[in-house]
Amino acid sequence: MPFLARLAPRCRAIATTPPAHPCLSNSVTCFNSSSALDIPPRVIFSGIQPTGVPHLGNYLGALRHWAKLQDEASPDEKLLYSIVDLHAITVKQDPAQLRQWRKEMLASLLAVGLDPKRSIIFCQSQVPQHAELMWILSCNASMGYLSRMTQWKSKLSLPQTASPFDSPKLSSPALKLGLFSYPVLQAADILLYRTTHVPVGEDQSQHLEFSREIASSFNHLFPPPPSPNPSVPILVPPETILSPAKRIMSLTQPTKKMSKSDEDPRSRILITDSQEEIYKKIKSALTDSIDGISYDPDTRPGVSNLIDIMYHMDEGVASSAEELAKDFKGLSMRALKEKVAETIEVHIRPVGERYEANLRGATGDLADIAEIGRVGAERRAEATMREVREAVGLSWG
């Protein structure tokens, strides 16, 4: 991405601060070489739940972008990528399976190109400051604001108009406190590292808005103590880096997002799938009976999803998904599926091979790699928490 380059002239994406959806209304401000020298280095943070082997949606929507950010970052920029296992337990988990999934996710992060010598890669639960900051932020988080968040509603299959204060379904044990306060922990994850930029998909914009809101609220209640740079707040409101990939949809229900929770394994392609499995799943992907190939997500979601997958797997094939569809307009559906399957297999095979090698320990013990990440993450986290404790009166002074 061009704004990562430390060359002059350059442009840096600066998020505005509207009342909603800041990531959808970014402006771009250009700096000359002299003013660029005054910009502090970026701190990039993002996290992913340990759900086992990632699928194509995880890879194209987040993981490949994380590796690209790492590879294009300047030496003074910090990158932190977390396996957010505390978020995972907002719903019931089998302990043995969760332990295995954490290993598989770490092996996957290394397989997509994340380098523990360049990025801090760690498990959230191993850094206790996440939970500590979450509690402090919870004491000032608005119940009304949290009630409007989408996470608990989607997990309970409730309409977006649902309220925790008047829905009969929520009088049962269905809504747990952890699920309801999930956004506060997510905000703590980000703010703990003085994160300046968070790479996310469009569906996460609400959580970034909440993180900005809770950071601003904390800084207003607890201004920084006298220091050489009093204008720097204790918690940094983060900006957004939108992932260039759109949401990848289910192969069997192309109006729904690709998900590991789908009971039908044919709905998703995993980064470890064999050539045979990829071709079989793409061949059975739901499309339509309309002649020719065209890109129209509303009326032809299945075909458009296949076009999106091929375009995002190899953006060199066309200037856009729409242009790719035009190139293929005379193809049969069978021929399109063969091309999509071939593109996926060629690009995903090396990732799957590295994943298997990582699980075998060919690149080092996963527990040792996680420990290195924990040390790096906790050092930065504790630096922030010392200031937070001092600000709220939880230090000895």
Residues taking part in catalysis: 155, 257, 260
Q: Following CA atoms 106, 108, 112, 118 in sequence, which dihedral angle do they give, to the nearest 10 degrees?
A: 10
Q: Tell me, what amino acid is at 320?
A: S
Spatial separation of the C-alpha atoms in residues 213 and 238, rounded to whole Å: 10
Query: DSSP letter at 6?
Result: -
Measured distance CA(129)–CA(190) in Å, rounded? 12
3-state SS of 29-87? EEECHHHHCCCCCCEEEEEECCCCCCEHHHHHHHHHHHHHHHHHCCCCCEEEEEECHHH
Q: Give the C-alpha distances (Å, rounded to integers) separating 48 from 142, 200, 348.
A: 25, 11, 19
How crowded is the C-beta side of 213, counted as CA atoms within 13 Å?
20
Rounded distance, CA 245 to CA 202, Å?
A: 10
Q: Phi then psi for 216, rounded to 5 degrees?
A: -65, -40
Report the distance separating Cα 397 and Cα 393, nearest Å: 8
Question: Which DSSP string corresponds to 190-232?
Answer: HHTTT-SEEEE-GGGHHHHHHHHHHHHHHHHHSPPPS-S-TTS
Specify whether the CB–CB gap between 281 and 273 falls below 8 A: yes
Tell me how crowded residue 236 is: count the other CB atoms within 10 A of its CB. 20
Residues linked to residue 27 through DSSP beta bridges, in sequence order: 14
Q: Which amino acid is residue 265, in one-letter code?
A: P
Contact 191, 236 (CB under 8 A): yes
Q: Which amino acid type is present at position 111?
A: A
